[in-house]
Structure 1
């Protein structure tokens, strides 16, 4: 969103190329408010006016906050136990853990030195503890770097702090190997083969189809 101390007097002009989705003018202010924008062609923004955030379906289904002081290693292990999905999918599932998402799941797995394709249910106690530590350290670092920044500066700061996500083709800051990518229909993941997959590149079926 974009905060403005003084919103324009004239009404917005909607259009296919205009990222503005909603303009909110706060009552009692001096014309201040904010714009909600949504870039890209795929639109999925939803706005709810509620008295309690838990009334929003998307919020109600969220899993635990990984940075909650009450969320311990045993709680994390219980979430992974029996889950036969790949770690990448588990970490970015908001109903399992709130607030990790696509970018930071790549960062967490890189910090933990684990393959995105590793099954959650296959982790040993040592690996679970290592992933839990990487999860907390990565998210706490992101929070600290964002502290005090204006909303418009958050995206740029986030990109500066990422080590593998969005850095396909660049050297890994840990070992110097080339960061690689696996593409999916609506997203992609980035990883370092040396740090995470014992030097073996992961299969990218979408790329393979393009090369045929």
Structure 2
């Protein structure tokens, strides 16, 4: 699952590669991906890309037509969406993932939006204001923004009887954190994934708030400039507990275990996070 550090790097890549290029067409390989049925992608033909912005795990590709502004293509990457870039004449990639949407440029370059999931999660919208689209409008604060203050986090965590793992992944609460980084944040903060947010002490809330910013800030720095076809591999390699079931914790040496009920999708360290007692 792409999360905010990878999506931010992708937005930067699109800004660098696509800004100033003219869109020839946007082709839907899977019509279900379009969420704005009254705004067809044809609206983007002939428009020049002016930039790209990130909203949580979404990217908006902004455009302008000659003599005025234009709509944006808002991309939601969901659980398994990603992107592939090619210039005119580039060979097709081996073992390519299914392409859901193709953004073709007049000079022959192409941005292909892919989805590796068993069910379609990638989606696109054509919109005059991405911030008004439901998927963006409902987002909570970005953890690296000035809005994510300690006081704001206290207001979020202090009243929620929800397990920390689930709370961190709730996009309406915090934008951009998914399964992998929630594991990494909780491990670094030495907190159990199943404890309720409202049960945290003041010191634990302060530690978690700082750790969220530290872990994501380091990930943003590490992902920046990495080619988009290497983003997933770099992310996987950086994980300390997520996806490391059965391996030794790099902090204490205990065995990393699966969070019960996660079907192997989430991990934690008993010594670092649950007082040495494995979750039942």
Whether these two folds match at TM > 0.5 is yes
Residue of 84, 87, 95 corresponding to 1:2: 84
Gapped regions of structure 1 (runs ≥ 5): 9-16, 204-212
Structure 2: how far apart are the matches of 1:117 and 1:183?
A: 9
Of the two structures, which has the highest relative contact order with CA contacts closer than 8 Å and spacing of 6 or more? 2
User: 1:175-206 CA distances to partner (integer Å, 9 max, x unpaired)?
Assistant: 01111002547872100000001111112xxx
1:159 match: 236
Mapping for residues 96-115 of structure 1, pairs under 5 Å:
96-115=173-192
Deviations 1:103-156 (A, max 9, x none): 100000000000001110011110000001110100000001011112111111
Over 3 Å off, 4+ runs: 183-187
Change (3 A) 1:22 1:184: farther
Determine if contact 2:186/2:192 at 8 Å carries over to the other structure. Answer: yes
Q: Do the aligned partners of 1:7 and 1:34 also contact (CA within 8 Å) in 2?
A: no
CA–CA distance in 2 between the matches of 1:85 and 1:120? 6
Unaligned runs of 5+ in 2: 1-82, 91-95
The residue correspondences of 1:83-98 to structure 2 (distance < 5 A) are 83-98=160-175
Instruction: Find the aligned partners of 2:270 and 2:171 in 1 and give their Cα distance.
Output: 26
For 1:9-88, list aligned pairs within 5 A: 19-26=98-105, 29-88=106-165
Q: Deviations over 1:46-95 (max 9, x none)?
A: 11122221132211111000100232111111111210010011001011
Q: Which residue of 2 aligns with 1:202?
A: 279
Query: TM-score, normalization: structure 2?
Result: 0.65
* Cα distance in 2 between the residues matched to 1:187 and 1:57: 31
Cα-Cα RMSD? 2.0
Conserved 8 A contact 2:189-2:208: yes
Q: Is the 8 A contact 1:106 1:191 kept in 2?
A: yes
Give runs of aligned pairs for residues 113-128 of structure 1, distance below 5 A.
113-128=190-205
- When you count strand as a share of all residues, which structure comes out higher? 2
How far apart, in 1, do the equivalents of 2:89 and 2:273 lie?
48
Q: 1:32, CA displacement in angstroms?
A: 0.7
2:57 counterpart residue number: none
CA distance, structure 2, for counterparts of residue 178 and residue 186 of structure 1: 17
